[in-house]
Structure 1
Amino acid sequence: MRIGIVGNDGMQVAALCQYLADQDVRWVVGEIEDAQYPCYPDYGQAMLEEPVDIIIDCTGDVETRDAMVVPGNAALFLLSFRDAQEKEFQHKTALSATAAQLTKGIEKIGQKAQLLDHYARQLTDIGGKLDEASQEIAGDLERTGRLLDVITRIAKRSKIIGLNSAIEASRVGEQGRGFAVVAEEIKSLADDSSRSVQDIEKILEGIQRRSAGFTQRTGVVKEVVDMQRQALTEIFSLLQSLKELEDHIRKLAQEQ
């Protein structure tokens, strides 16, 4: 709709122009400073040069059948009411969008909390496995100690046998048969020592494997701790965003 404004009150006309900034205003009649539309001395000339569909009359003097005449006060009231309605709608839209963001933020916090719970369960499970592994290693070390005791006893017996062998070596003749007994004893002790060494090697291999498991689980624990730290950082960031949204909602509510 093409619109013309007739007025002798500069402030009233300026207010109308502001409200109608998004409309098709063709001209203004009157002495208006800094008018953003073409100005005419009277509405008759304006209608001849630029016909309009609506004339907003702020003087009460316009009489014409060529356009709809709307009193200036009525136009101002309707336009200000429309502007207030639009602002209220914008506020409601902003509140709705902010509430949606708030809900989304709360959902994200819930998800992060679930992740933290999951990581905590992982740590508990890993802690249990580490405890089991430490108990197994303690048992292996205890068995290793027992085997070392056996080897120590074997060494002592070997020393005694060595002394006996020296004594037997000084004897020749019929006493030489004692060397066979000594040799058999030494062989038996050597076999025991060999088996003990093999057992120790197996135990040490087990300790090595479990130590590797410890290292791997320690790496997993570090990774889980890092994930927890990251999740906490994101939660703090979300809480800050929610605080800002809360402040924004409060400001919007105050503007209502």
Structure 2
Amino acid sequence: MMKKIIGQSALSAFQEVVPFLKMLYPQDAAVFACDRQKYLAFEEAESFKLGIKVGTSLKENSAEEQAMKKKEKVSSNVSRDKAEIPYHAMALPVWDDGNTVIGAVGVCLSLEHYDSYQEISGRFEKAFHEVGKGVKEISASAEHLAEIGEKLSWLSKNAAEAVQKTDEIMKIIGGISNKTKMLGMNASIEAARAGQEGKGFAVVAQEIQKLSNSTQQAASDVASIIKDMADTIESVSRETQETSAISEEQSAFAEEVSSTMDELKDQLESLGELFEILIEGTS
């Protein structure tokens, strides 16, 4: 149960010590004492001005007026739209020797830093949301890119194997070409030995040699193309591996950023709770 401040002498004593009470608060504060109609003593704050002077009528619906009306301690916050700087007001009723409230004493504490904190906190929360959204998109893109990289790597591997098989086929074709060439040369020799009777055979020998030369040239051209394809596939495979590595790094970085943002958000929430506790502690 709250102890009562009782007696006109107590109210008069508060009038005398109002300037000194202000010195007891670590933050900037306005301190006052009043009767039921007017302020008897008032010490203005440094950072915010309430425009109250000794003899000024009580502010309507103020904490001090409500404390006397409700006959209990009253705490309330005054927002920026009602005051130059937001502040927290607290007031205690003062009783006479009976059951009648004759006045009130109280203090007003600046909430400028807390108000600024809430504004900054709101901005941070919005920024956290946007960053978190961006991080998720980066992470999703990195994962998708990694999947594409894996598919490209698989295709490159299969293509490389196909090129190797084609290279083996070209070796076989080259061998056939060489044998055909040898066959053409032998046929030419035999046609020369046969003389006039071997003219028809000589024509066949020439065609065999032409076929051998054409086959050899075609095999050489195809081999060159296959080599270019192999070089290209190797380059694609190398780039794919690098892309996959970068994607993994991006994904890991995105997770790290997300974790850091969560920690910062938790710290801001904890800071907000400390502000609330501080305000409640002064109430």
Which of the five TM-score ranges fits, normalised by the shorter chain? 0.5 to 0.7
> Are 2:218 and 1:212 equivalent residues in the alignment?
no
Matched residues, number: 207
| Residue number among 122, 128, 142 corresponding to 2:145 in the alignment | 122
Aligned ranges 1:178-189 → 2 under 5 Å: 178-189=201-212
Which residue number corresponds to residue 197 of structure 1?
A: 220
Q: Within the alignment, does 1:243 sit opposite 2:243 as a pair?
A: no
Shift of residue 210 of structure 1?
3.2
Give yes or no for contact 1:123–1:221 (8 Å, CA) kept in 2: yes
Q: Summarize deviations over 1:186-236 as a string: whole Å, max 9, x none.
A: 222121111122222222223333333334444443443443343233223
- Spell out the pairing of 1:12-161 with structure 2 (5 A cutoff): 14-16=20-22, 56=41, 68=55, 78-80=105-107, 82-83=108-109, 86=110, 94=117, 97-98=120-121, 101-102=124-125, 104-159=127-182
| Distance across 2 between alignment mates of 1:56 and 1:196 | 110
Higher helix share: 1
Q: CA deviation at 1:98?
A: 3.5
Matched to 2:212, the amino acid is: L
> Residues 215, 191 of structure 1: CA spacing in aligned structure 2 closer, same or farther, 3 A cutoff?
same
Contact 2:177–2:212 (CA<8 Å) still a contact in 1?
Answer: yes
C-alpha distance in structure 1 between counterparts of 2:24 and 2:40, whole Å: 16
Give distance in 2, aligned partners of 1:207 and 1:130. 14
Corresponding residue of 1:228: 251
Residue identity matched to 2:257: E
Q: Which secondary structure does the structure 2 equivalent of 1:79 belong to?
A: strand
> Which whole-Å CA distance do the structure 2 matches of 1:7 and 1:249 have between them?
37
Decide which structure has greater strand share: 2
In structure 2, list runs of 5 or more residues that go unmatched. 1-11, 31-37, 43-53, 57-92, 95-102
Give 1:112 shift: 0.9
State the alpha-carbon separation in 1 of the partners of residues 13 and 277 from structure 2: 36
TM-score (norm 2): 0.54
* Cα distance, 1:12 vs structure 2: 6.5
What is the SS of the residue equivalent to 1:78? Answer: strand
Structure with higher Rg: it is 1
Deviation, structure 1 residue 102:
4.0
The TM-score normalised by the length of structure 1 is: 0.58
Aligned pair in 2 of structure 1 residues 179, 204: CA closer, same or farther (>3 Å)?
same
